[in-house]
């Protein structure tokens, strides 16, 4: 709730929306650049093959073509992946000798227009000698499977083991098992990938659609052998990211190298079909899970074996099972946990973080096995969860898997979700439909989750400066791409200094204006970046109080910000100064305190020290048409706890977007390859991404359990809806199908998959 007299906690409309909705926002593709060239990439049409020859002669002779590059003429080093991954998996910007997935780049064509570049790219002739293809990650790790990187010696990219106890399930009365596939999905941001590189002598300006300008600048400087100070990277308006735009793509390096070589600005703009095969995919885990319980439902142990599909060039995506392993205990007091996770290279698009990045996978496996246990033991799914929840007085807590939970009230969130949903009435309606053998059966799915936010990224830069005209500039190292940072950070400054929000300018996502930053990902922006802005605003206010006290001949401790935003002596509003006057005095040696630094500004790096752990509970209600298999999500209730809520509108927006993505994975989305590694879902004709028309209006609510880790009490909210919704919807469909004795189906729960399961169950029953 809002504190007395504070803007924080109030529903404030997003200040950035009018600009976006009216077409005023500028994206990289909108930038007018004089003398612009265009680059198009020739991508492999075969998943695994030796490159015998590349004939660029016809392409080079095409109208408007300026240059055609292959690995032999592009002197860029392979791009190394995640620090823990063997360098032998490094990716050549243009494939050298071997292609490893459909979409691997073999050549680049630069031309005066994009159409000319595309036409010329069609004329590049590549002679391939096919090699054996490995698509399935489990098969990739079996003995005798072809090794995709012979110099590494196996298809195992990295392995994470936690706990090795052959008797871990020995205390259990019942062991429930399951094999779950958390399928590969595509990020599908509204805006595909792309970059504009403008060289100017030794300096470059790069406009790129990214979540972190520094994660582009620094590897780009390394690839080009440049001083990072000569690279200015700017993220203009960005049309969505979801984790897939968090990192560096080889297309950026090739485009920049060509711009330097040709001394011309160059633009790469990805097509949607190109985006579906070239941008990192997410999820892609096969999970073998065993949960041990006593007859009364008490959990005794969890054992999981996870295989992660890392794609053709293992990098950050191969590391995601580490987060899955860390969060495998979830909201439960499970005394023993054992996890073995292996990441495998395959002839598919490389994998990376996707909204939640390893944490949704943990919640999905845990909440599915808990529901299977509830069915096995005949215990209501909510009751089984509540019997095993960690209690509020257990916190702070270090879990068996090493997560440092700050606080949580898990039963409170689940009780609230059940209350809003009308859980008991839903169960009565379900029983009535089953008794009537209705064509449309009701399913009620429950999930409870805890997630880790700001994982490993606890620090962020911010500065706040008051100008002599009374306006304020706040600079921060995070990078907005739809979250509402402009509104949230202006609210924090306004709350601290008393200046109107419209007088606060937010600067971000520009390495020429922001000295450092870690960008936006992992639901860290408000709790880390917002806290940095808060602390910088505190320092500015303290300095302003000193100046005001000096000018008004009062003690700084008696100086306050009055309701009208002026700064002066407490209880004496007539004796107060405007911010413009204070800023002017701060620059005047004759008016500021003798030992005060000039200017009314502060900059710092806030360090939270560790992660926060948001949590929540979701209830999904579905109808399953038993004649067609069609699933309709009719209700979705989410109670998410992200600590203190600074703007309910922003929180609700994140909840709704997250729920939509999570429900989409449960019901619609899946990247599919055939046995030869050909993508069968390479455009939005074949990849089933739902629109709002396929989803209900979500019922999003909250509990508030402020974290003690930062001055705002805020935790992350950007990924919570995705983490809680997928297993709730999944469980709801299986709950409806349990009427037929069906205990599990893998996602996505398409009409065909559901219909086949019902048909088989009916046939088996005679």
Quote the pLDDT of residue 164: 83
In three-state secondary structure terms, 430 is helix
Tokens representing 354 are 């996707």
* pLDDT at 632 exceeding the cut of 50: yes
Long-range Cβ contact pairs of 296-300 (< 8 A, separation 24 or more): 296/387, 297/373, 297/374, 297/377, 297/379, 297/383, 297/384, 297/387, 297/388, 298/387, 298/388, 299/332, 299/333, 299/334, 299/335, 299/388, 300/169, 300/171, 300/172, 300/334, 300/335, 300/336
CA distance 492 to 470: 17
Instruction: Give the dihedral of Cα atoms 515, 521, 522, 526; nearest 10 deg.
Output: 60
| pLDDT for 252 | 98
In the prediction, which pLDDT does 163 show?
87
pLDDT at 334 > cutoff 90: yes
**Residue 699: pLDDT over 60:** yes
| pLDDT per position as a tens digit, 8-42 | 999 999 999 999 999 999 999 999 999 999 999 99
Decide the pairing of beta strands 105-111 and 65-69. antiparallel
For 171-188, what is the mean pLDDT? 98
pLDDT exceeds cutoff 50 at 2: no
| pLDDT tens track for 663-697 | 999 999 999 999 999 999 999 999 999 999 999 99
User: Is the pLDDT score of 211 beyond 70?
Assistant: yes
Q: What is the pLDDT of residue 557?
A: 95
| Nearest alpha carbon to residue 315 among 219, 396, 237, 404 | 219
Q: What is the mean pLDDT of residues 275-280?
A: 98
pLDDT at res. 81: 86
The pTM of the whole model exceeds 0.85: yes
pLDDT digit string (tens) for 240-255?
A: 999 999 989 999 999 9
CA pair distance 385, 202, nearest whole angstrom: 61
Helix (DSSP H) and strand (DSSP E) numbers for the chain: 18, 28
Lowest mean pLDDT segment, chosen from 2-11, 201-210, 457-466, 734-743: 2-11
Tens digits of residue pLDDT in 488-522: 999 999 999 999 999 999 999 999 999 999 999 99
In angstroms, the CA 148 to CA 756 distance is 36
Rg value, the chain, Cα: 28
> 537-549 pLDDT, tens per residue?
999 999 999 999 9
Domain borders along the chain are 17-24+455-607, 31-131+190-240+245-278, 281-453+611-765
Q: Examine residue 396 and say whether the peptide bond preceding it is cis (omega within 30 degrees of 0).
A: yes
CATH topology of domain 17-24+455-607: Aldehyde Oxidoreductase; domain 4 (3.30.365)
The CATH class that applies to domain 31-131+190-240+245-278 reads alpha beta
**Across the chain, what does the average pLDDT equal?**
97
pLDDT tens per residue across span 575-604: 899 999 999 999 999 999 999 999 999 999
The reply to whether domains 17-24+455-607 and 281-453+611-765 share a CATH topology is: yes
Report pLDDT for 323.
96
Query: If DSSP codes are grouped into helix, strand and coil, which group holds residue 290?
Result: strand
Q: What is the pLDDT of residue 574?
A: 87
**Residue 1's pLDDT is what?**
33
pLDDT tens digits, one per residue of 292-323: 999 999 999 999 999 999 999 999 999 999 99
Query: Per CATH, which fold does 281-453+611-765 belong to?
Result: Aldehyde Oxidoreductase; domain 4 (3.30.365)
Note the pLDDT of residue 585: 97
């Amino acid at each position: 709730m809002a504190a007395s007299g504070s803007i924080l906690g109030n529903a404030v409309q997003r200040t950035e929306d009018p600009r976006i909705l009216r077409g005023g926002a500028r994206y990289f593709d909108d930038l007018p650049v004089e003398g612009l060239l265009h680059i198009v990439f020739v991508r492999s049409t075969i998943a695994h093959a030796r490159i015998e020859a590349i004939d660029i002669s016809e392409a080079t002779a095409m109208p408007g073509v300026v240059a055609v590059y292959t690995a032999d003429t592009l002197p860029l080093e392979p791009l190394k992946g995640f620090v823990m991954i063997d360098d032998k998996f490094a990716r050549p910007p243009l494939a050298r000798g071997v292609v490893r997935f459909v979409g691997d780049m073999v050549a680049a064509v630069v031309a005066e227009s994009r159409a000319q570049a595309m036409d010329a790219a069609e004329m590049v002739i590549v002679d391939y000698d096919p090699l054996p293809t490995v698509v399935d990650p489990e098969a990739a790790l079996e003995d005798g499977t072809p090794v995709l990187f012979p110099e590494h010696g196996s298809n195992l990219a990295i392995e994470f083991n936690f706990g090795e106890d052959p008797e871990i399930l020995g205390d259990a009365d019942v062991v429930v098992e399951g094999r779950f596939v958390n399928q590969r999905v595509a990020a599908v941001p509204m805006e595909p990938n792309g970059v504009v590189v403008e060289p100017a002598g030794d300096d470059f300006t790069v406009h790129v659609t990214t979540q972190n300008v520094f994660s582009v600048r620094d590897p780009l400087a390394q690839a080009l052998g440049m001083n990072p100070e000569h690279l200015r990277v700017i993220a203009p308006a960005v049309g969505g990211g979801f984790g897939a735009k968090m990192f560096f793509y080889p297309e950026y390096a090739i485009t920049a190298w060509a711009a330097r070589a040709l001394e011309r600005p160059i633009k790469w703009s990805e097509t949607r079909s190109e985006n579906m095969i070239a941008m990192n995919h997410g999820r892609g885990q096969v999970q073998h899970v065993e949960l041990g319980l006593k007859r009364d439902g008490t959990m005794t142990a969890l054992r999981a074996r996870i295989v992660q599909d890392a794609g053709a060039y293992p990098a950050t995506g191969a590391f995601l099972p580490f987060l899955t392993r860390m969060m495998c205990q979830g909201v439960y007091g499970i005394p023993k946990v054992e996890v073995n996770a292996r990441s495998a290279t395959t002839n598919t698009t490389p994998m990376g973080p996707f909204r939640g990045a390893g944490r949704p996978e943990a919640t999905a496996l845990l909440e599915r096995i808990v529901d299977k246990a509830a069915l096995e033991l005949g215990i209501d799914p909510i009751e089984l969860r509540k019997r095993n929840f960690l209690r509020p007085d257990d916190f702070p807590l270090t879990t068996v898997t090493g997560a440092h939970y700050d606080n949580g009230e898990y039963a409170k969130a689940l009780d609230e979700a059940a209350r809003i949903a009308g859980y008991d009435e839903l169960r009565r309606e379900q029983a009535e439909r089953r008794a009537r053998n209705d064509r449309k059966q009701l399913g009620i799915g429950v999930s409870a989750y805890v997630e880790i936010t700001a994982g490993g990224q606890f620090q962020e830069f911010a500065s706040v400066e008051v100008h002599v005209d009374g306006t304020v500039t706040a600079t921060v190292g995070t990078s907005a791409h739809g979250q509402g940072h402009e509104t949230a950070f202006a609210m924090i400054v306004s709350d601290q200094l008393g200046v109107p929000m419209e007088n606060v300018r937010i600067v971000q996502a520009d390495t020429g204006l922001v000295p450092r930053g870690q960008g936006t990902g992992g639901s860290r922006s408000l709790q880390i970046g917002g806290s940095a802005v808060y602390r910088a605003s505190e320092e500015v206010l303290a300095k302003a109080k000193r100046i005001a006290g000096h000018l008004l001949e009062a003690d700084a401790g008696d100086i306050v910000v009055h309701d009208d935003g002026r700064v002066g002596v407490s209880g004496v509003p007539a004796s107060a100064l405007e911010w413009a006057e204070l800023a002017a005095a701060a620059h005047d040696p004759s008016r500021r305190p003798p030992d005060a630094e000039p200017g009314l500004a502060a900059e710092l790096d806030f360090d939270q020290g560790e992660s926060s752990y948001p949590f929540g509970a979701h209830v999904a209600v579905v109808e399953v048409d038993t004649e067609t298999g069609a699933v309709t999500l009719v209700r979705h209730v989410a109670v998410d706890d992200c600590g203190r809520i600074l703007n309910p509108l922003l929180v609700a927006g994140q909840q709704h977007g997250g729920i939509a993505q999570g429900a989409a994975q449960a019901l619609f989305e899946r990247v599919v390859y055939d046995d030869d590694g050909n993508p069968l879902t390479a455009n939005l004709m074949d990849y089933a991404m739902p629109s709002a028309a396929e989803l209900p209006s979500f019922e999003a609510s909250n509990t508030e359990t402020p974290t003690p880790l930062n001055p705002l009490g805020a935790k992350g909210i950007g990924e919570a809806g995705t983490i809680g919704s997928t297993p709730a919807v999944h469980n709801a469909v299986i709950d409806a199908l349990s009427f037929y004795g069906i205990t599990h189906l893998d996602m996505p729960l398409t009409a065909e998959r559901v219909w086949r399961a019902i048909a088989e169950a009916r046939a088996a029953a005679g």
